[in-house]
């Protein structure tokens, strides 16, 4: 593996370390992050939380082998500042939004902790595999200081796979967001013929990889001038073999569609639609993900 000379943005890059039975993923977000966050005009603390969640979603979602598969990350509480956080990934497209209590946020510290935002909240990670029609979900408490730590707990508790997740984010001089993430896992496939990983999470091969991964700084992950392959090189240049996989471009994607919304509303009775309509006879349907409103005539008919 050689060190490249160009930087990467809005991309995910996977790699494997065959002799260590490990796989990894690096992500860096820039304009995509700005596009999603700018649509909502969240307060700084909520904006930072959503940026972290989107980066985490891109990291985990881009590991899906099913190109039509979807990864959904949802964090929720019943008494915290944040009542609901939802992000999802499908085919390289990201979207996300946050519902929060503005009054409670005003009473919170300027730089609130995860507990201050969620209290006794939980994190749910759901994999929907379109090709096999399978659906997997794991739920863990929102323990720790960051969403990344909660996600690590998910993989250890729900999937029993040793996992390391590091995130970093910053704003440049022009106020643009840059975020990066590192995702490392020990592969169960590498344990054939030996003790199963779920009964032994401290395998020396994984310990070696995790120690190296732990040296990656948040500032490096969020540095737009550092190519992703350079970060892999910095961590694992002494390994005999590191295989760099295909890149995954990342984009903002929302599946709200005016025609689809019209077809759904057409299934309601004329009386129901009239009750939903405003004074101009239009039904305003909003999308929480992209913060757009779709006006649909109340007299819409089934096509």
Q: What pLDDT digit, counting tens, does each position of 170-190 carry?
A: 988 788 999 999 999 998 654
- What structural domains does the chain harbor? 11-252 (3.55.30.10), 258-297 (no CATH)
Query: Quick one: angle between helices 31-38 and 44-61, nearest 10?
Result: 130
pLDDT tens, residue by residue, 90-123: 999 999 999 999 999 999 988 898 988 998 899 9
Cα 235 to chain centroid, rounded: 23
Give the separation between CA 149 and CA 130, rounded to whole angstroms: 28
Do 11 and 28 meet the contact criterion of CB atoms below 8 Å apart? yes
Exposed (0-12), middle (13-18) or buried (19+): which is 8, by Cβ within 10 Å?
Answer: buried
pLDDT at position 301, please? Answer: 63
pLDDT in tens, 191-219: 443 344 443 455 778 899 999 999 999 99
Query: Residue 262: how many CB atoms within 10 A of its CB?
Result: 18
Q: What pLDDT, on the 0 to 100 scale, is given for residue 273?
A: 85
Cβ-Cβ contacts under 8 Å for 73 (sequence gap 6 or more): 53, 56, 57, 60, 85, 86, 87, 88, 123, 124, 125, 126, 151
- 299 touches 281 (CB < 8 A): yes
Note the pLDDT of residue 272: 85
As a whole number of Å, the CA-based R_g of the chain is: 21
Q: What is the pTM of this model?
A: 0.86
What pLDDT does 106 receive? 94
Q: Which residue has the tokens 């929720």?
A: 76
> Which pLDDT score is estimated for 231?
96
Name the H helices within the chain: 31-38, 44-61, 102-107, 114-118, 147-157, 204-213, 218-221, 228-236, 258-265, 270-276
Q: DSSP per residue over 192-219, as a string?
A: TTS--GGG----HHHHHHHHHHTT--HH
pLDDT recorded at residue 274:
86
Mapping DSSP to helix (H, G, I), strand (E, B) and coil, where does residue 81 land?
coil
What integer best gives the mean pLDDT of the chain?
A: 87
pLDDT at 85 over 90: yes
pLDDT band for position 6 (cuts 50, 70, 90):
very low
pLDDT tops 60 at residue 137: yes
Distance between CA atoms of 296 and 272, rounded to whole angstroms? 14
């Amino acid at each position: 593996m050689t060190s490249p000379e160009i930087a990467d943005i809005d991309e995910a890059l996977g790699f494997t370390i065959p002799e260590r039975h490990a796989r990894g993923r690096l992500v860096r977000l820039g304009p995509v992050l700005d596009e999603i966050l700018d649509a909502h005009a969240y307060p700084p603390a909520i904006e930072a939380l959503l940026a972290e969640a989107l980066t985490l979603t891109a990291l985990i979602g881009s590991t899906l082998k099913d190109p039509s598969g979807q990864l959904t990350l949802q964090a929720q509480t019943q008494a915290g500042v944040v009542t609901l956080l939802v992000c999802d990934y499908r085919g390289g497209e990201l979207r996300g939004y946050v519902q929060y209590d503005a009054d409670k946020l005003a009473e919170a510290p300027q730089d609130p902790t995860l507990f201050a935002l969620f209290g006794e909240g939980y994190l749910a990670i759901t994999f929907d595999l379109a090709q096999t029609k399978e659906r997997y979900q794991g739920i863990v408490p929102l323990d720790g200081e960051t969403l990344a730590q909660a996600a690590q707990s998910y993989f250890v508790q729900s999937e029993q796979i040793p996992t390391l997740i590091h995130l970093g984010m910053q704003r440049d001089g022009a106020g643009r967001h840059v975020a990066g993430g590192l995702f490392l896992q020990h592969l169960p496939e590498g344990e054939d013929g030996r003790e199963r990983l779920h009964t032994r999470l401290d395998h020396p091969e994984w310990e070696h990889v995790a120690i190296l991964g732990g040296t990656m700084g948040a500032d490096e992950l969020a540095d737009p001038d550092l190519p992703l392959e350079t970060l892999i090189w910095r961590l694992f240049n002494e390994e005999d073999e590191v295989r760099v996989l295909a890149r995954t471009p990342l984009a903002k994607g929302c599946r709200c569609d005016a025609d689809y919304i019209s077809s759904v509303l057409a299934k309601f009775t004329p009386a129901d639609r009239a009750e939903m309509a405003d004074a101009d006879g239009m039904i305003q349907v909003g999308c929480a993900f992209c913060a757009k409103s779709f006006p649909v005539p109340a007299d819409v008919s089934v096509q």
